[in-house]
Amino acid sequence: MRRIQVGIVGAGPAGLLLAHLLRQEGVEAVVLEAKSREYLETSPHRIRAGVLEHGAKEILRRAGVGDRMLARGLGHKGIYLGFDGQLLHLDFETLVGKGIWVYGQQYLVQDLIRHHLGVGGEVLFEHEAVDLEDLHTPNPTLVYRTPEGRIGRLRCEFVVAADGSHSSFRRFIPGQRVHEKVYPFAWLGILAEAPPAAEELIYASHPQGFALFSMRSPSLSRNYLQVDPRERLEDWPEERIWEELNLRLGGAAEIRPGPLLEKSLTPMRAWVVEPLHSGRFFVMGDAGHVVPPTGAKGLNLALCDAAVLYRAMCAFYKEGEAHLLDRYTQDVLRHVWQAELFSYWMTTLLHTLRDPFEERLRVAKLRHLAESPLLQGFLAENYVGLHTTVRYVDLIPVQP
């Protein structure tokens, strides 16, 4: 049976970044990915949020995978809040001295794959991890199925599950609890060949519901509408979507419709699994915790987890120190709950609420924010990631 140091399930941002960082330290990691490379890199079903916190951009740059991100991504100083037909600009650089970077998650996955394979890293595409044996021994063993249907085994020193929100591997954490919140909204998302409504993101609050105007490039818009979770995509023909986006923007900016490339419905949920590790088995990213998309934190949290586990594994392999591995759950939960808090705050600030009392409180909160530089500072420090990725930048050595 083949022996390796670290077996990683899932070639998403967390798994790939961890594998890449470990490889630079001479630790052998193998990534098993059930899907094909082509699917990961091009499937429209995988068009995810494109907001990188200041610290996420720095981590990726230091890891040596940021060339295209820096060339093609868009630096944003802040965001706009739209309400009452007006746009309020929150300038994060003035408020907290840092900005954000807009670059699609799918492009980032392409970059990570290309760089990792380029330095001889191993990603086994179309290899589905199916079981975990000998969990509580020094050599947990990953069982996988090859594209030809054969069963293989990797005898590891550590196993990491980074297999996304539908993770089949997190079940191996014994005695886990799940803390969950179901929000009473869903997001109808579109990707359109149309210039974005503004040069930075607009989070628009309207009595009829929230709308978000985001982008992937100067000619690709990514927009969302708050809808009832019971609604169906068929109820939203193209024309209705553009009308509704216009209405909710309330004349604060102009939107130019364009051909739709993709349309999707996402229910809004949050959950956190505890604990996030057991013995030599660790869970990272969406496999262990999910946030609603309002704060754009999901991808950034996944990168935080990878940085924390990277540091802990380096301490183990370089200094024979296991205490950071033992603290993995504790360390990760700190940034995860900070992001859950912020995502909850943003979500309940911006989405129209059914309860008339709560809805009035929400509007009061929005007006308070518009007038209070202190509250704007709270939003800004969370949005740029002062409590999440920014805390971990220094863990990543700069690659030449």
Q: Give SS3 for 171.
A: helix
Scanning the structure block, which residue is given the tokens 């490379």? 37
Tell which one of 214, 221, 329, 347 touches ligand PHB (CB under 6 A): 214
Scanning the structure block, which residue is given the tokens 């129209």? 352
| Token pair listed for 192 | 């359109």
| Token pair listed for 377 | 């500072």
| Token pair listed for 216 | 């992937």
Cα 294 to Cα 18, 102, 163, distances in angstroms: 26, 15, 22
Q: Is 203 a catalytic residue?
A: yes
Minimum CB separation from ligand PHB for residue 49, in Å?
A: 4
Q: Is 57 a catalytic residue?
A: no
Nearer to ligand PHB, 107 or 317 (CB): 107
Helices first, then strands: H and E counts in the chain:
12, 21
Q: Is 297 a catalytic residue?
A: yes
Closest C-alpha among 189, 217, 233, 183 to residue 350: 183
Nearer to ligand PHB, 212 or 241 (CB): 212
Minimum CB separation from ligand PHB for residue 212, in Å?
A: 6
**Candidate segments 47-55, 123-131, 149-157, 166-174, binder of ligand PHB by CB under 6 A:** 47-55
* Torsion of Cα atoms, 371 then 375 then 380 then 385, to 10°: -170
Q: Of these residues, 98, 206, 297, 335, which one is catalytic?
A: 297
Q: Is 293 a catalytic residue?
A: yes
Nearer to ligand PHB, 221 or 329 (CB): 221
Per-state percent for the chain, helix, strand, coil, to nearest 5? 40, 30, 30
Q: Of these residues, 127, 383, 387, 392, which one is catalytic?
A: 383
Q: Of these residues, 293, 310, 328, 335, which one is catalytic?
A: 293
Q: Of these residues, 57, 76, 335, 351, which one is catalytic?
A: 76
Nearer to ligand PHB, 214 or 389 (CB): 214
Nearer to ligand PHB, 212 or 325 (CB): 212
**With contact defined as beta carbons under 8 Å apart, do 179 and 274 qualify?**
yes
d(CA 191, CA 206): 21
CA atoms within 13 A on the CB side of 216: 19
Asked if residue 49 binds ligand PHB (CB under 6 A), the reply is yes
Minimum CB separation from ligand PHB for residue 305, in Å?
A: 19
Minimum CB separation from ligand PHB for residue 188, in Å?
A: 12
d(CA 193, CA 220): 5
Nearer to ligand PHB, 79 or 314 (CB): 79
Number of residues binding to ligand PHB, judged by CB under 6 A: 10
Tell which one of 7, 12, 209, 293 touches ligand PHB (CB under 6 A): 293
Tell which one of 222, 280, 311, 362 touches ligand PHB (CB under 6 A): 222
Q: Give SS3 for 287.
A: helix
Task: Report the interhelical angle of 298-319 vs 54-62 (nearest 10°).
Answer: 40
Tell which one of 10, 15, 50, 82 touches ligand PHB (CB under 6 A): 50
Nearer to ligand PHB, 51 or 108 (CB): 51
Nearer to ligand PHB, 280 or 297 (CB): 297
Q: Is 138 a catalytic residue?
A: no
Residues 170-209 that bind ligand PHB (CB under 6 A): 201
Residues 12-41 that bind ligand PHB (CB under 6 A): none
**With contact defined as beta carbons under 8 Å apart, do 315 and 324 qualify?**
yes
Residue nearest to ligand PHB (CB): 214
H-only helix segments in the chain: 13-24, 37-42, 54-62, 67-72, 92-96, 105-118, 238-249, 298-319, 323-326, 328-350, 356-371, 373-384
Minimum CB separation from ligand PHB for residue 213, in Å?
A: 9
Tell which one of 106, 205, 294, 376 touches ligand PHB (CB under 6 A): 294
Tell which one of 21, 34, 51, 194 touches ligand PHB (CB under 6 A): 51
Cα 296 to Cα 172, 275, 392, distances in angstroms: 28, 24, 18
Element (H or E) spanning 126, and its range? none
Active site residues: 76, 203, 293, 297, 383
Binding residues (CB under 6 A) for ligand PHB: these are 49-51, 201, 212, 214, 222, 293-294, 296
